[in-house]
Chains A and B, each alone.
Chain A
């Protein structure tokens, strides 16, 4: 004979359970404010222990706006205050990390401000906007748009020469163009041809006399030689090394074109043993 135990609360226990649930729900909305006030008002050491982890972000940290009549009437104070409040309310850091981790693990995507990040093969991350642009090249001939842009840049170049100014055009690479091997097969319908488009565009610019640095070409060359990719797996922007190398070319080009000594960007030989950026860096991005 097997004895069974009822786990479901009895009828008389229902109101008590409901009170408990109501308390939990009210606590979920009522506790963050006093917790935040406590953290904000604590000494630095206590604050460090109590506050949720800082989120990685490349934007300036938000400051609490000052209330002035003019900012109130314009609604600026309200907008700034809401943004600031949303960023400091505890436990904002934990919630963002947890939510992004769930999206990353379960749905292979992540939110990052108003952009969306897609997790591709081998868990490489791509910004959705760059993927759209990459696929666009599969189905469009951008010759007309490129010719128009070249003509405008050429005009600009001539205008600046008259004012004794230089124009240096820098193309920067996107992760989708540089590392398409991690994208799902058949993503764009047809195979995109971003290199052919770019090469035509750069050649046209140079024919028109516009000084141009072909960033994607430089980064492709690095990719062929470096043991680590120019775009890290857990990020959507190029690595500091890739950016610095292209930056060094930019400085060289400025010095060459201007004939002035503008200094030199010295890059130490990279140490390839450093561990790659952990994925957690990405999923803790401020949203």
Chain B
């Protein structure tokens, strides 16, 4: 069930909110858990059983870990918990990819082929679910988290529907106090619904039209020319940002309506100067997860310089693979790893020494080039596309009809991304936020956006969120 679908907007959400508002406080978690499991089972009727079983294994492993005082046993249990989660992810997400790459090699060397492997359907949100479950096991082992007080609390942490399918990836110890006690205020419902409306508008009014344009340009066919290549790449850069940050806004807003506070996932990422800065602003819950559960265990900054660069590459190759089982994602991860290394070597100093607009512009263009690799179906297409982007004299017969609303949406999207870079924007924003009418005006604006977004979502065919597939 997609947040922008009529069934969610007019069926699931109002029904849930009505029940949630009517029940006594002691039944809040039970209600939220039932609704969340139903929400997931609606899209993944079989995998929900595996997810529940896997969560049960986490609980058993953690209980045994807490009960044991022997370091070796605790480490063994940690290994079992992490391996079980990674094994689940590896099977459903990477088994087909591994088979497709290994089978031809085995066939070429040994002249035999591996037994046929059926295609495994990727359960939506699996990467997010598994990463959250791993944080629980690791954090309890580290002593950062206390074990869940009840099975219900842990299952609600895993299945909480606002963040279930595409994050933000939350840590158990961040949400545990809220599972025990959280406010139920009308102000939170208002603030949450306002945030949800803004996210819905980002998705259906900005991301989806940019997706139309990107789909037309990236569609298989004849090679494209310079102008079209950049148009498509920028459209995709806007699509993926508004799609994913729109989902995050909706998730944060829905959770707020339930009294939960989730972490922010995006902070104006296209204003970043350098790739390190970009990853502090883009999908923050994933980058902090990789930092805390991969980069630091690999040695963090306290290793030799060559090892540090290697670790950065490992982290971003893993980040690439986390996004999908395809070589384009590995290439995209390597590309970001390369720029992060260059950042540490000289690029960050160079970019911060330039006028701000140049630093932002360079980073945006470099990130956009990375998105081409990310979006392309294979490396060959990506290379052809990138070749078109660097050849201003290149000629193509390809004709793509771009309707004028798409240019308008692109202009609005770019303005939303880059206007905050202007001198005085922050000051003006702060002044407006301090005005007594600000909250009311923003709510009225959100109400208007909600109406327009509902109209668009009801009219135009289904567009799933991009990050559901990761």
Contacts and interface: CB of A to CB of B under 8 A. Distances in A.
Given A18-B443, A111-B460, A73 B46 contact: yes
Interface string A116-138: 10100000000010011001001
A198 B93 CA distance: 47
A89 B10 contact: yes
B455 interface: yes
Central interface residue in A11, A29, A89, A140, by most chain B CB within 10 Å: A29
B458 A109 contact: no
Interface in A16-36: 17-19, 21-22, 24-26, 28-30, 32-33, 36
Given A22-B186, A75-B45, A32 B405 contact: no
Interface residues of A, number: 55
A92 B7 CA distance: 12
Contact of A14 (B11, B186, B437, B458): B437
A98 interface: yes
A25 B43 CA distance: 27
Contacts of B397: 138-140, 189
A103 B405 contact: yes
Given A29-B14, A96-B459, A99-B455, A86 B212 contact: no
Given A8-B437, A21-B444, A92 B5 contact: no
Contact of A100 (B11, B197, B399, B459): B459
Contact of A118 (B9, B401, B436, B446): B401
Contact of A86 (B7, B222, B450, B451): B7
Contacts of A98: 455
Interface in B1-56: 1, 5-7, 9-11, 13-15, 17-18, 42-43, 45-46
**Chain A interface mostly helix, strand, loop or mixed?**
helix
Contacts of B440: 9, 14, 17-18, 21
B443 A22 contact: yes
B43 A75 contact: yes
Contacts, number: 136
A108 to B, nearest CB: 7
B447 interface: yes
Contact of B405 (A33, A100, A107, A187): A107
Interface string A57-82: 00000000000000011110010011
Contacts of B75: none
B456 interface: yes
A95 interface: yes
B403 interface: yes
Contacts of A30: 14, 17-18
Interface string B177-197: 000000000100110011001
A8 B436 CA distance: 11
Contacts of A73: 45-46
Given A18-B440, A22-B190, A99-B459, A81 B7 contact: yes
A240 to B, nearest CB: 27
Contact of A28 (B15, B186, B404, B451): B451
Q: Which of B43, B222, B403 has the most CB of A within 10 A?
A: B403
Given A21-B443, A33-B11, A108-B404, A188 B193 contact: no
A29 to B, nearest CB: 5
A33 B14 contact: yes
Given A18-B443, A187-B399, A28 B454 contact: yes
B450 A28 contact: yes
Nearest to A84: B7
Contact of B11 (A25, A78, A85): A85
A78 B11 CA distance: 13
Contacts of B14: 26, 29-30, 33
Q: Which 6 A-B pairs have the closest CB atoms?
A: A139-B397, A107-B405, A30-B14, A99-B459, A32-B10, A86-B6
Interface of A: 8-9, 11, 14, 17-19, 21-22, 24-26, 28-30, 32-33, 36, 72-75, 78, 81-82, 85-86, 89, 92, 95-96, 98-100, 103, 106-109, 111, 113-114, 116, 118, 128, 131-132, 135, 138-140, 187-189, 287
11 contacts: A14-B437, A26-B189, A28-B447, A72-B45, A78-B43, A85-B6, A92-B6, A95-B458, A106-B405, A113-B461, A189-B397
Interface of B: 1, 5-7, 9-11, 13-15, 17-18, 42-43, 45-46, 186, 189-190, 193-194, 197, 212, 222, 397, 399, 401, 403-405, 408, 436-437, 439-440, 443-444, 446-447, 450-451, 454-456, 458-461
